[in-house]
Amino acid sequence: MQQTPCTIVKKERLIPGQTSKLVISCPHIAKKAQPGNFVILRVSAQGERIPLTIADADPEAGTITMVYLVMGKSTAHLETLEEGDALHDLCGPLGQATHIEQVGTVICVGGGTGIAAMHHIAKGHQRAGNHTVAIIGARSKNLLLFEHELKSFCDEVLIATDDGSYGHKGFVTQVLEERLKTDKTVKEVVAIGPVPMMEAVSKTTKPFGVKTTVSLNSIMVDGIGMCGACRVSVGGQVKFACVDGPEFDGHQVDFGELRQRLAAFKPQEALSFEAFKERHGK
Amino acid sequence: MASSESSPKKGKSPTPRVPMPTQEPLARIKNFAEVALGYAEDQALIEASRCIQCKKPLCVQGCPVEVPIRDFIAHLQKNDVQKAYEVIKSTNSLPAVCGRVCPQETQCEGNCILGKKGEPVAIGRLERYVADTYMALSACDQITGKPECPLINEDLKVACIGSGPSSLTAAGYLAARGIKVTVFEALHEVGGVLIYGIPEFRLPKGIVAAEVAALKEQQVDLLPNWVGGKTFTIKELFDEGYKAVFIGVGAGLPKFLGIPGENLIGVFSANEYLTRANLGRAYDFPHWDTPTFPGRRVAVLGGGNVAMDAARTALRLGAEEVRIVYRRTQGEMPARHEELEHAVEEGVILEILSAPVEFKGDSQGRLTSMVIQKMELGEPDASGRRSPVPIEGAFQELACDMAVIAVGAGPNPILLDSTPELKRTRRGYIDANQDTGETSMPMVFAGGDIVTGAATVISAMGAGRRAAKEIARRLLGEDAA
Ligand SMILES: Cc1cc2nc3c(=O)[nH]c(=O)nc-3n(C[C@H](O)[C@H](O)[C@H](O)COP(=O)(O)OP(=O)(O)OC[C@H]3O[C@@H](n4cnc5c(N)ncnc54)[C@H](O)[C@@H]3O)c2cc1C
Ligand SMILES: Cc1cc2nc3c(=O)[nH]c(=O)nc-3n(C[C@H](O)[C@H](O)[C@H](O)COP(=O)(O)OP(=O)(O)OC[C@H]3O[C@@H](n4cnc5c(N)ncnc54)[C@H](O)[C@@H]3O)c2cc1C
Ligand code: SF4
Ligand code: FES
């Protein structure tokens, strides 16, 4: 076992300036990464520890894939790295792997950058022999991610765009609801994306009594169960998203609390981003 | 509960203890620089001369790693710092750390014979003086030639999981005997609580870094960002050729109170608050990226070192009012005396005989106040301390926008969950032999907070040393260990 720099071997700007995909060489993590796992990384010596989902892993090639949305300072800094550059720190795989069983039909709903994270989980469900349906959505056609990747292995890929520029016009939840009304073989719904989307999906599935799994993006610091920053309320109990999750039963999650806690550091995040933009002449 | 320095003396005490120079309270709450400044040469020599060189030195009995205290002080009395350092180093691999953070009043100094009549020798301060002075000296050593490091046997590999004082001590001991050691640390910096928990103003990071650099010279490999139980398992270590494993992963799981409102914005575990400040250097935000929370009126719950550190950190980060809320009285607080004293000097308010019962917030989910239940002292409990008993109907509301919970920690679950074959105690800690550190798994040893529960730096070091001795004995045979 040795420390080798975790280098970016491939970078793809999926939506320029907004979303990118990185393939990173880190054999020790690639070997272990399961669907549902995430990593904690730092871009620089002074950087913050931020969590990103492992969107794909190739143990043979020794690489993992991550897809991120430029949100603030740390992801903007990450966006400045190019192929050949190394991450300062990369730690993982962390979190519980997705619980995957052969159950029948599984619908995987992805929104925004969450589609990438969902993609690794959908792959797991497909491999386990489930009839796997992906429902993905974005504001508009040019913001849609991973359509081709998903089409390469999913049994069905359904698409929704807010502006109707592609697929169903409207939200993924409408497509999901239609499906649940007509298809009684659906045994599980997985939703990954922005908090409001995961909340809406959970509301949609509730009347149908279909098991619903969401992946919570609470604020994390260490990612190994030592700080409690990531605590979320699930079924009235306090859980640590980094070690007990990040996936939980969507019908039990207190989404309101999660939304509030995600806003805890808003003013500081803005400050940090401004300082960064100034330094980088933007 | 004033310090020994200010308590009235009975009988005749030869000379008073030399006080420790410190930064002025008003100045120091505006910076993160060290509070206690350390003795100058003349002060150290005067203090050392107070030691009467007992035939049967009681002080040593109070030291978990058995530093030959009398002997190091004897060298110091002759102003031979190098010899004094060698004596200390023979059993203590982190003297600059211990001189700063050990609870001396209950250990060596608590046993010193001079304490019976007056004030004990300031053993901790002398240890710190020796370690710091030698660290400065050893820079010249680079030119004059250094003691050779032993040849490292790459076939005899030992892994230490976690990089707190227990692992660092075990690593140092083994490397000194020619064994190749790899230290795996989950976080991005090495040092455990010494780095992420204890603040800069009490234990400068440079001191920890210097101790860690010494290990690197002994060819110890340090691997940050490697998580035992996630990135690798114990079984894989043996498959990779490691001959023994030492587990020193600490007690990092934060305890919460289980009272309403605990997830409001502004309520933190001490671990989160201190990790942001120390590991993330949040006091230097936005130069460093990790933010911290700008508490104005802060309540810290608990009465140990962790609570003191959180309270004093909050002051330095600009809080206007900081209270320590503790359910017993000042006399029962488990914190080191010096830290409690420093905290009070700096303006921390002690809200004693108070137990939190609820956090209240606004519509945005932000903390606005805390309800406390007033207590009184009842009968002594199992720990010998008088137990707090609620006074019926006595509640009080404290306005606060930040609360830090510092009421203890449990065993960190990550490694343990991946290693179910490791036998645990009833409280969930690793069940390890007291003398050797051996666990229920062959050639797997454990020590420090993950065995004892949250304890002290020196007890973790003692455990690391005992386990390393046993590992060396098994790998090298009786004599070499
Ligand atoms: C388990 C997990 C997996 C994630 N996977 C992905 C992913 O695959 N792709 C992706 O684009 N994003 C992912 N995120 C979110 C990602 O971590 C945040 O977008 C990132 O930390 C933002 O950092 P920033 O400095 O760029 O932005 P900031 O300006 O710091 O923050 C912007 C927003 O990001 C969130 N955030 C800030 N700091 C953290 C933190 N330390 N941990 C979590 N959230 C934070 C807050 O909601 C904040 O409002 C994941 C989060 C978690 C917890
Ligand atoms: C804020 C604070 C102040 C304190 N003040 C004092 C004091 O003044 N005096 C005193 O004597 N004691 C003090 N203590 C207690 C003392 O620091 C601890 O008793 C001591 O550090 C325990 O040492 P350890 O080696 O067992 O583990 P720790 O120092 O806890 O280190 C354990 C390390 O293991 C790492 N780890 C955990 N899980 C894994 C894993 N799965 N894989 C890899 N690495 C892992 C952790 O990240 C951590 O770095 C204080 C503690 C705290 C929290
Ligand atoms: S007990 Fe006190 S006086 Fe005696 S040797 Fe130890 S430090 Fe010196
Ligand atoms: S991020 Fe610290 S406990 Fe989960």
Q: Say if B19 falls within a structural domain.
A: no
Region of B75 please: left (phi>0), alpha (psi -120 to 50) or beta: alpha
Q: Residue A252 belongs to a domain with what CATH number?
A: 2.10.240
Half-sphere exposure of B151 (CA within 13 A, CB side): 2
Mutate to test the interface with A, among B160, B161, B188 (most CBs of A within 10 A): B188
Q: Is the pLDDT of residue B146 over 50?
A: no
Nearest Cα residue to B87 out of B75, B77, B100: B75
Is residue B94 located within the same domain as residue B162? Answer: no
Look up residue A34 and give its two tokens.
């399961």
Same-domain status, A89 and A102: no
**A153 located within any domain:** yes
Closest-CA residue of A relative to B193 is: A226
pLDDT digits (tens, 9 = 90+) for A105-131: 999 999 888 998 899 899 999 999 999
Residue located nearest, by CA, to atom 46 of ligand 1: A262
**Closest approach of B124 to chain A, Cα-based (Å):** 30
Residues of A with Cβ-Cβ distance to B414 under 8 angstroms: 224-225, 243
Count of residues in chain A = 282
Rounded to whole angstroms, the Cα distance separating B314 from B316 reads 5
User: How far is Cα A164 from Cα A137, in angstroms, rounded to an integer?
Assistant: 10
Q: Where are the alpha helices (DSSP H) in B218-290?
A: 234-239, 270-278
Probe ligand 2: pick from B221, B457, B459, B466, max atoms within 8 Å of CB? B457
pLDDT (mean) for B39-46 = 95
The answer to whether residue B274 is domain-embedded is: yes
* CATH for A61: 2.40.30.10
Ligand showing the shortest atom-to-Cα distance for residue A94: 1
Tell whether B13 is covered by a domain. no
Asked if residue A147 and residue A115 are part of one domain, the reply reads yes
CA of B194 to the centre of ligand 2 (A): 7
Please name which of A90, A85, A45, A89 lies closest in space to residue A64, comparing C-alpha atoms.
A90
Chain B positions touching A80 (Cβ under 8 A) are none
Q: Which of A64, A94, A124 is the last residue of a domain?
A: A94
Q: B209 and B118, same structural domain? A: no
Nearest neighbour of B265 by CB, restricted to A3, A28, A261:
A261
Residue A278 domain-assigned? no
Residues B370 and B417 in one domain: no
Does residue A69 lie in a domain region? yes
- How far lies B296's CA from each of B131, B280, B325, in Å? 38, 21, 16
For residue B187, the ligand closest to its alpha carbon is 2
Q: Which residues of A touch B289 (CB under 8 A)?
A: 44, 46-48, 73-74, 272
My answer on whether B199 and B328 are in the same domain is no
Residue A154 known to bind ligand = no
Minimum CA–CA partner of B228 in chain A: A92
Domain residues for the domain of A67 are 7-94
Q: Does the C-beta of B114 come closer than 6 Å to ligand 3?
A: yes
- Whether residue B130 contacts residue B72, with contact meaning beta carbons closer than 8 Å, is answered with yes
Residues A40, A57 within the same domain? yes
Does B136 have pLDDT greater than 70?
A: no
Decide if B181 contacts B220 (C-beta within 8 A): yes
Confidence of residue B149 (pLDDT cuts 50, 70, 90): low
Confidence of residue B5 (pLDDT cuts 50, 70, 90): very low
Q: What is the pLDDT of residue B3?
A: 42
Confirm whether B62 is domain-assigned: yes
Task: Centre a 10 Å sphere on the Cβ of residue B296 and count the other Cβ atoms it contains.
Answer: 14
In terms of domains, do B261 and B352 share one? yes
Q: Which residues contact B393 (CB under 8 A, 6 or more apart)?
A: none
Q: What is the pLDDT of residue B480?
A: 59
Number of domains into which chain B is organized: 3
- Domain hosting B110: range is 25-135
Query: Is the pLDDT at A176 greater than 60, yes or no?
Result: yes
**The tokens of B443 are what?**
């050639």
Distance in Å, CA A114 to ligand 1 centroid: 12
Q: Are residues B186 and B72 in the same domain?
A: no
CA distance A229 to A217: 12
Reported as a single tens digit per residue, the pLDDT across A188-245 is: 999 999 999 999 999 999 999 999 999 999 999 999 999 999 999 999 999 999 999 9
- Residue B58 CA, closest ligand 3 atom number: 1
**Are residues B288 and A46, on separate chains, in Cβ contact within 8 Å?**
yes
- The CATH number covering residue B126 comes to 1.10.1060.10
Question: Which tokens sit at A246?
Answer: 């990040």
B423 & B386 share domain:
no
Label residue B40 exposed, middle or buried (CB < 10 Å: 0-12, 13-18, 19+).
exposed
Residues in A touching B186 (Cβ below 8 Å): 91, 222, 224
Considering Cα of B419, then B423, then B426, then B431, what sign does the dihedral take?
negative
- What ipTM goes with this model? 0.92
* B238 in the same domain as B278: no
d(CA B337, CA B238): 44
In a domain, B1, yes or no: no
Which residue of chain A comes nearest to B189, CA vs CA?
A89
Each residue of A36-70: b (16+ CB within 10 Å) or e?
bbbbbbbbeebbbbbbbbbbbbeeeebbbbbbbbb
User: Is A111 inside a domain boundary?
Assistant: yes
Tens digit of pLDDT for each residue in B356-383?
999 999 999 999 999 999 999 888 888 7
- What would the pLDDT profile of B200-256 be if each residue is shown by its tens digit? 999 999 989 988 888 888 889 999 999 999 999 999 999 999 999 999 999 989 999
Residue nearest to ligand 3 atom 4, measured at CA: B54
Number of structural domains (chain A) is 3
Cβ–Cβ contacts within 10 Å for residue B9, how many? 11
The response to whether A227 counts as a known ligand-binding position is yes
Query: Ligand 1, atom 11: nearest CA belongs to which residue?
Result: A68
What are the Cα distances from residue B243, in Å, to B156, B419, B446, B464, B476?
6, 18, 15, 17, 11
Tokens of B394: 């006595």
Query: Do residue A104 and residue A158 come from a single domain?
Result: yes
Ligand 4 pocket, residue A38 CB under 6 Å: no
